[in-house]
């Protein structure tokens, strides 16, 4: 019940900000995206802005894992990506070989504390199960559409990420844990407005 309320509130907030944004032109996001996996939901929906001639990309994403995929889990992430390089193969096609970024993700739910509950002795668990910091890369192909198309571009992307806790495990066990065990993937489609 609490969870579905949270979900409804999130969706309502998203819808409200979108409709509000459309009335105030400059707040309209530069893109919206839908993503499969990537440690932020079985399916995630997000939106964001591009800054500094599209070299920087900020985005927020809501993700959901249904019970039959290992949930139910609700999460929210905020990310910042930097594009060091782009390749324009022609006027309509652009390739971003490797964008790099950070992502902070928040896991909703009573089982995931952000502050250590008071029943524990101080510093009993040093990490925050509700919050993960991810290191991520993204490779993408963008099709730029003609002005008449109504949308600016369509991007297909492949994302890799690891998080603080996986990375600690890896660094302290580099002889045993393989990089493939700590790096996770996601794919998505982004529509530019």
Partner 1 sequence: MKIKSITFRIADYVTQSLIILTQFTLALLLTACDQFEFSPNQTFDQTSPTNLNAQNLARLRGNAEDDTVTIVFAGDTQRWYDEQERFVKKVNSLPNIDLVLLAGDISDFGLLQEFKWVQKRLSALHVPYFGIIGNHDMVANGARIFSKMFGPLNYSFVYGGIKFIAHNTNGLEAPGRNIPDLGWLARELQNAEGARHIITVSHVPPYNTVEFGAESVEPYKMLLENTPDLLLSLHGHVHQHQDFHPFSDQVRYMTSFSFEQSAFVLLQIVNGQILKSIISY
- Residue numbers at the binding site for partner 1 (CB under 8 A): 36-42, 63, 65, 69-71, 73, 75, 89-90, 92-93, 95, 107, 111-112, 119-121, 125, 127, 129, 132, 141, 143, 156, 158, 163, 165-166, 168-169, 172-173, 175-177, 180-187
β-partners of residue 81 are: 57, 101
47/65 with CB nearer partner 1: 65
The smaller minimum CB distance to partner 1, of residues 33 and 107, is found at 107
Give CA–CA dist 130/107, Å, rounded. 5
Contact 32, 43 (CB under 8 A): no
Nearer to partner 1, 29 or 35 (CB): 35
Least distance (Å) from partner 1 to the CB of residue 106? 11
Q: Please state the closest distance from residue 154 (CB atom) to partner 1, in A.
A: 10
Between CA 34 and CA 116 the distance in angstroms is: 33
Name the one residue in this structure whose structure tokens are 């985005």.
Answer: 59
Residue 99 CA to residue 170 CA, distance in Å, equals: 23
Contact call for residues 64 and 46 (beta carbons, < 8 A): no
> Which residue's structure tokens are 């969870």?
3
Pick between residue 28 and residue 191 the one whose CB is nearest to partner 1.
191
Q: Which is nearer to partner 1, 29 or 138 (CB)?
A: 138
Q: How far is the CB of 158 from partner 1 (least distance, A)?
A: 6
In whole angstroms, the minimum distance from the beta carbon of 49 to partner 1 comes to: 25
DSSP at 130:
T
Q: In the bound complex, what is the minimum distance in angstroms from residue 99's beta carbon to partner 1? A: 15
- Smaller CB distance to partner 1: residue 24 or 179? 179
Smallest distance, Å, CB 107 to partner 1? 6
Helix/strand/coil (H/E/C) assignment for every residue in 169-192: HHHCCCCCCCHHHHCEEEEEEEEE
Element (H, E) at 11: helix 2-23
């Amino acid at each position: 019940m609490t969870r579905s309320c949270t979900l409804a509130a999130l969706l309502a907030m998203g819808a409200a900000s979108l409709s509000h944004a459309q009335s105030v032109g400059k707040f309209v996001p530069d893109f919206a995206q839908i993503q499969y996996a990537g440690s932020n939901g079985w399916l995630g929906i997000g939106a964001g802005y591009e800054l500094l001639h599209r070299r920087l990309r900020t985005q927020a994403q809501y993700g959901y894992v249904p019970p039959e995929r290992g949930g139910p889990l609700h999460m929210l992430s905020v990310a910042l990506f930097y594009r060091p390089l782009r390749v324009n193969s022609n006027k309509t096609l652009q390739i971003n070989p490797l964008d790099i970024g950070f992502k902070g993700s928040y896991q909703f739910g009573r089982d995931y504390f952000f502050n250590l509950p008071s029943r524990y002795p101080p510093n009993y668990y040093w990490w925050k199960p509700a919050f993960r910091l991810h290191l991520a890369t993204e490779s993408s192909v963008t099709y730029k559409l003609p002005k008449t198309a109504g949308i600016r571009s369509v991007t297909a992307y492949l994302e890799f990420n690891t998080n603080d806790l996986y990375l600690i495990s890896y660094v302290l066990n580099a002889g045993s844990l393989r990089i493939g065990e700590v790096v996770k993937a996601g794919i998505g489609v982004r529509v530019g407005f």
